[in-house]
Amino acid sequence: MRQTVFGLLMVAAAWAGVGRAEAVDLQVLSAGAVRSVVTDLSDAFRKETGNTVTLTFGTVGVIKLKLADGAPADVAIMTDAAIDEMARQGAVVEGTRTEIGRTGPSRQRCCR
């Protein structure tokens, strides 16, 4: 999962314009269940690229509300069902979901 999240940050950075002269600040909205992994990987990403990552954590419900309200996000990490719902509402780009791992006792999949 760590390599996949790091890879997602790299892809998001490329999409956001890394490679240009200016630094990029990636916005990540994430379910709290993966906080430690996402925090560690964003720190590694910062060190490797010199770009910044702004992390916002909350319950899936809170992340869904933020997305529905138009909060900026380059990466959203939450359950399949939540990502699908947000795609139906137009809050995330349909077809961009990538499974990055499983977490918690129910082993729910976490997606971008």
Reported as type and span, the H/E element at residue 3 is: helix 2-16
Top CATH class, 2-111? alpha beta
- The dihedrals phi and psi of 80, each to the nearest 5 degrees, come to -50, -50
Q: Provide the b/e sequence for 32-54 (b: ≥16 CB within 10 Å).
A: ebbeebbeebbeebeeebebebe
Q: Record the pTM.
A: 0.73
Q: Sketch the domain layout of the chain as residue ranges.
A: 2-111
Quote the CA–CA distance of 70 and 57 in Å, as a whole number: 16
Q: Mind listing the pLDDT tens digit for each residue in 54-110?
A: 999 999 999 999 999 999 999 999 988 999 999 999 999 988 888 887 655 655 555
Q: Give yes or no for residue 35 having a pLDDT over 60.
A: yes
